[in-house]
Homo-oligomer: A and B are copies of this chain.
């Protein structure tokens, strides 16, 4: 029964890896919305709190990995935007 849930969690987690790699490669995340990253990261923090409450390891693991990917994208966006302005 949880089969589809695991595939879903895997796909929506791993999805951000190509974005991390693309941003690292192109040194540009201008088209990536800052507010999107901020809201998404805030949401992931709440998913992690919820995962703790539920004692759900899949919810915890998936959201911690997704959080790491999205913080990486945000940091690169800030870093590369700053460099462009100099």
Closest CB in chain B relative to A60 CB, distance in Å? 12
Which residues of the other chain, B, contact A44 by a CB distance below 8 angstroms? 8, 12
B11 and A32 form a contact (CB under 8 A): no
Q: How many copies does the complex hold?
A: 2
Asked whether B15 lies within 8 Å of A32 as measured between CB atoms, the reply is no
* Min CB–CB distance A3 → chain B (angstroms): 9
Partner of A39, one of B4, B14, B30: B14
Say whether chain A's binding surface is mostly helix, strand, loop, or mixed.
helix
Chain B residues with CB under 8 Å of A2's CB are: 50
Question: Are A1 and B53 in contact, with the CB atoms below 8 A?
Answer: yes
Nearest CB on B from A18, distance (A):
4
Question: Could you tell me if B12 and A43 are in contact, using CB atoms closer than 8 angstroms?
Answer: yes
